Amino acid sequence: MAMKTYTSLLALCLVLGAFPLVAQTDYICSFSANVEMDSIQVKNTVSEESKMLYSPDNTITLQQNKQQGNEETCIVTIDNAGFLQQIGNNTVIVTAAKPALLNLTLYSTDGKEVTHYSENINIGQHAFKIEAKAGVYVLVATTQNQSSSLKISLSENSPMGIFPIATPLSVSQLKSLDDVITFDEGDEFEVTGYYKTQTDVQRFIITENKEVTFSFIEETPLSIKENGAIKAAFSVAKDKKIYFSQGNLQYQASTGTWRFAENQWNFVGKCKSTQYYPNQPQDTGNVFVDGVRCENENISPTYNGWIDLFGWGTSGWKSGAKAYQPYDTSTTKNDYYQGGATGNSANIDWGVHNPISNGGNEAGLWRLPTIKEWEYLLVSRPNYSEKRGAATVNGVKGLILLPDDWTLPEGLTFKSGMNNNDFKNCKYTAEEWTKMEENGAVFLPLAGYRRGISVIRNNGMYFSASYSEYGIEHVKFSETIIKIVASFSSPETAISVRLVKYVEE
């Protein structure tokens, strides 16, 4: 990666009048790294004077403290500091060379506008107070001819706004505008660069202008999720690999929104009694809207909660079947599409027909795996038996699948095999599962199935795109018998959908 260096400087000389004056020997420290650093701290380890710089500002002046009589003091500042400068924690000044319309905009670090101020200003200096919740922000100042930005760190919560200050600035305030640290001969300086969770610390004694180069390297991302995909490859044929979506498919009827579950262990489940299975335990899910638990049994065309169990072919595509909407509850087999989700009928596949809001938000990016792909993944790929196992994740039972290239996170264990029917030998907290997921692990929760408006949660059933004379082919595993089988279901049985996408070599 190319080195990123900021060394542009502007000399600003201030005449201090009747005050005792000091002539300074100025040494300029500039900083570079192979990444754009978040911040740099320069500290005099003797006096403990410290200055924090925020990207992209990374030059600072070290002034040697020597008394040499009444002379002019020269202070070196970063480029553009003559237009927009910070004094104190939350105060800035703007220096206008001509009358202009000034716009001040405060942004959060993710680029969202927080507050804005606009004013016609005259030639000269104008002070403004920046107030907002405690945090780090970027302030952008613009006129017709000038623009500049700086990062501001606010330590106290205040009413939101940018407010002009009428009080004239004193010379002592002006001196604090500059990124300057004073030192005596022989003082040691500690320079610390920060990049995400990495730091690089260097110490030296200044005797000349100095460039400090930090040895950062790009980090592995904290998460391998990208546009809804867990970007770890799983073989579904000898020459074909896929990425799994980050969670089971969910739908909100009141807004017509499709999404992937926020966590792999999320499932909607049910809370009510079951018409078809009155003696089964009443398991509850872990998906909420405004603090209210969602229930598949509340399914309707206007339901504002999420559902995650779908009848066959209910992508919303008008296939000719009577029941084609995700909220359809018919228990009549012939009301649903009769056939597979391939070829001319591919649009009955939820991922082909619909944009997934947190999965790229475009139709056609996702699809169901075929039954042959499921079978290769589960019972044919190299070392398949070592890369699957029953487990409990954040209190939810289900099946773990490991990617082709797998490294077990330090401090964790994984027990493979399909005889672990009590789910006790493999348990993970949400924090532990995050580490597993960062290395590419996939979790399929036992989310149950639905007939009409009644839900039973004693197994995991996941659609494939394949269809035979016996029904839709799907993968099934249960709480009592953890045995993966290519089973068949009737179209009116609503089950889970886990979408995938091809790995493009």
User: 273 vs 402, which has greater pLDDT?
Assistant: 402
Residue 8: phi and psi, rounded to 5, are: -70, 130
Q: What is the pLDDT of residues 145-186, one digit of tens each?
A: 777 777 787 877 888 899 988 754 443 333 333 467 777 777
Give the whole-angstrom CA distance, residue 191 versus residue 41.
6
H/E stretch holding 292: strand 292-293
In the predicted model, what is the mean pLDDT of the chain?
A: 80
Q: Are residues 201 and 329 in the same domain?
A: no
Residue 464 and residue 487 in one domain: yes
| Residue where a domain terminates, one of 214, 238, 261 | 214
Each residue's pLDDT tens digit, 413-447: 998 877 655 677 789 999 899 999 999 999 999 99
Cis geometry, peptide bond prior to residue 326 (ω within 30 degrees of 0): no
Q: With respect to residue 34, please indicate whether it lies within any of the assigned structural domains.
A: yes
Q: Is the pLDDT of residue 273 over 50?
A: no
- As a whole number of angstroms, the distance between CA 284 and CA 469 comes to 34
Cα–Cα separations (whole angstroms), residue 58 to 54, 79, 85, 174, 196: 7, 11, 15, 20, 16
| 77 located within any domain | yes
End position of a domain, from candidates 155, 187, 214: 214
Instruction: Mark which of 166, 186, 214 sits at the end of a domain.
Output: 214
194 and 317 together in one domain: no
In this structure, how many other beta carbons lie within 10 angstroms of the beta carbon of residue 427? 16
447 with 315, same domain: the answer is yes
352 vs 474: CA distance, rounded Å? 18
C-alpha closest to that of 493 among 462, 233, 258, 413: 462
Under the banding of pLDDT at 50, 70 and 90, the label for residue 79 is very low
Give the separation between CA 82 and CA 94, rounded to whole angstroms: 8
Tell me if 351 is assigned to some domain: yes
Residue 480: predicted pLDDT: 60
* Chain centroid offset of residue 57 CA: 25
Which residues on adjacent β-strands are paired with residue 500? 244, 367
pTM over 0.85: no
Q: What is the residue range of 279's domain?
A: 225-502
Number of domains in the chain: 2
- What 3-state DSSP class applies to 134? coil
Residue 291 is assigned to a structural domain of this protein: yes
Is-contact 304 246, C-beta < 8 A? no
Q: What local confidence, expressed as pLDDT, does residue 238 receive? A: 92
Report residue 2's pLDDT band, with 50, 70 and 90 as the boundaries. very low
| 504 confidence band (pLDDT: 50, 70, 90) | confident
Average pLDDT for residues 211-231, to the nearest whole number? 76
Lowest mean pLDDT among 5-14, 95-104, 144-153: 5-14
Least confident of 48-62, 84-98, 249-263, 470-484: 48-62
Looking at the fold, whether 185 and 232 belong to one and the same domain comes out as: no
User: Do residues 280 and 185 share a domain?
Assistant: no
Cα(298)–Cα(111) distance, rounded to whole angstroms?
39
- Return the ∠ at Cα 148 (arms to 147 and 151), rounded to 5°: 155
To which H or E segment does residue 442 belong?
strand 442-445
Contact yes or no for 357/258 (Cβ under 8 A): yes
CA max distance for the chain: 100
Residues 320, 464 within the same domain: yes
Q: Rounded to an integer, what distance in angstroms lies between the CA atom of residue 92 and that of residue 174?
A: 11
**Strands ordered across the beta sheet of 91-96:** 84-87, 91-96, 124-131, 161-165
Which of 115-119, 146-150, 224-228 shows the lowest per-residue confidence on average (mean pLDDT)? Answer: 146-150
Examine residue 144 and state whether it is found in any structural domain, yes or no.
Answer: no
- pLDDT (tens digit per residue) in 185-206: 778 888 888 776 677 888 878 7
How far apart are alpha carbons 385 and 272 in whole angstroms?
A: 37
364 Cβ contact partners less than 8 Å away, ≥ 6 residues apart? 351, 352
Tell me, yes or no, whether 102 lies in a domain.
no
Residues with Cβ within 8 Å of residue 168, at least 6 apart in sequence:
none
Fill in the DSSP letter of residue 406.
-
Which pair of structure tokens corresponds to residue 439?
């290395």
Q: Do 255 and 195 fall into the same domain? A: no
What's the pLDDT at 290? Answer: 84
**pLDDT(16) > 70:** no
Q: Are residues 455 and 375 in the same domain?
A: yes
Based on the fold, state whether residues 496 and 354 are members of the same structural domain. yes
Residue 442 has φ and ψ, to the nearest 5°, of: -115, 140
Q: How many residues does the chain have?
A: 505
* Residues 206 and 241 both lie in one domain: no
Task: State the amino acid at position 121 in one-letter form.
Answer: I
Share of the chain above pLDDT 70, in %: 79
Q: Are 314 and 195 members of one domain?
A: no
Percent of the chain at pLDDT above 90? 40
* Parallel, antiparallel or unpaired: strands 180-183 and 59-64: parallel
Per the domain annotation, does 58 fall within a domain? yes
The whole-angstrom separation of Cα 296 and Cα 284 is: 10
On whether residue 301 sits in a domain, the answer given is yes
Higher pLDDT, residue 500 or 137: 500
**Does 327 score more than 80 pLDDT?**
yes
